Amino acid sequence: MVIFDTDIFIWHFRGNDRATELINQTEEISISIMSYMELMQGARNKQEMRYIRLLLKELNCAILPLTENVSYRASIYIEDYALSYGLRACDALIAATAVERDLPLYSSNEKHFKMITGLDLRVFYPNER
């Protein structure tokens, strides 16, 4: 199982073939509840919200809840990295979810996560390198 950052789905929704391929080739996908909320918040209407829910259901995507350990770890990340790297609360919670569950995190936002020790970050490149 892996965790996808919100941006993987955003790239897919924008028609990025590499993101679609990554989603289709990954057997067990999960996302943090924070990513789920970001996706829903980004929807422009009820139809887009339904589409997101349907896609996640079709992918059998697990939506991972916040736990006490995730919350605590994320608060440490904020203390350690908010001032020096600009780490935001949602990204701290997503990273903490991945670390607490010992799962790799796929994201195209390397700068948001690269400083977090113990995080198995798999950088997704939406364009060929």
Asked if residues 106 and 3 have their Cβ atoms less than 8 Å apart, the reply is: yes
The answer, yes or no, to whether residue 129 has pLDDT greater than 90, is: no
Q: What is the CATH number of the domain that holds 63?
A: 3.40.50.1010
Residue at 6 is within a domain: yes
DSSP designation for 1: -
Residue 128 inside a domain? The answer is no
Tell me how crowded residue 87 is: count the other CB atoms within 10 A of its CB.
22
Give the count of alpha carbons within 13 A of 14, CB side only: 13
Does residue 24 belong to any structural domain of this protein? yes
Please write the tens of the pLDDT for every residue from 61-110.
Answer: 999 999 999 999 999 999 999 999 999 999 999 999 999 999 999 999 99
Residue listed under structure tokens 């289709």: 24
Domain total in the chain: 1
DSSP letter assigned to residue 123: E
